[in-house]
Structure 1
């Protein structure tokens, strides 16, 4: 991809790195096949390739982020499935992270959006709070349809609809600590990211992962103080 950054812009190491990444993109579109938002929505701007065009335009022109860019960047799940299919090795992860920093520095989100994000930041990274919020969400589910009709509360209504009917019990295996590998042969040491949602919504995934690794002789460390991925 051809870029047109000025020498002054390239003096910023983050912009220089972004420019190198942009130059690797050849517009092939292989990334669209593995992007969940593009597959679901069918909008080119909700594909990695489309987002790369938006990011390039924003950074090259040195302009603040606008509502359109924020909408499409926010929809990116950061699953990085696109990077597994990119033949050119485009480091999309760094590019979208750079774009998000630029957005937070140059774009003032609407008040309802800021409140929703603040609420999620106070709840999601803390399993006990998240578990309590999910239990309370059942009380609000009958009003989810009404909330979705109000633009300012539409995200809250959507989240209430997604709340599960029941919440699994907390697993002690996911607590910070070290799980020793079984057997006499040791096959290494790994750290596991339990995740903010997974440890609450489906803790069996972490339990099974730890059990399988330790059975194979791998020591598993659950770090203390890990936050939301």
Structure 2
């Protein structure tokens, strides 16, 4: 093409008409180009397929690794949560048990306090209802009360006991036998034997009467048996 253009230029300048020489053709046959292109496209597609497959494999491996890491993290977190929850439950159970123990102790203490108050109130009631003693008449009434409270002796049994005491001391807590060491309402011989019922045996009618009733109970069983013995022997 370049040579033809040059010849045409020369001819035009000189006025000489030259015939155009056709340029040689270097074109590749169409079927060859199509085959090569098809091979190239096939190779490109295969390379793309291979690349995509590799990318998918890498992506799947990455996703699987992330999933495993996530599962492990969740399992560890779950274990920590379970341990924490267990610790909380144990602490709550311990606190509940401690609260129940304290409540039970408080309940028992309150029951004990009420029982003690009731006991004191009953003792005060009995003390108020029981004659303190002092005069012979008061001592006799005190003896009646104590005989009934301590041994259930009333009626005839107390009458028998009264018969004994009237002949021993006339219910005088200071009665002192000049012929022996017998002393007090029951005329204990010696008088210090009544110390087993209290250190105030010399002056307290209640202490003397308790000792005298106990003596009758242990030696004769009942006041009437003791009275029978005294009538037969003069002493009891």
**Same structural fold, with TM-score higher than 0.5 when normalized by the shorter chain:** no
Instruction: Specify which structure has the bigger relative contact order, considering alpha-carbon pairs within 8 angstroms and separated by 6 or more residues.
Output: 1
Q: Over alpha carbons, which structure has the higher Rg?
A: 2
| TM-score after normalising by structure 1 | 0.22
Pick the structure with more helix per residue.
2
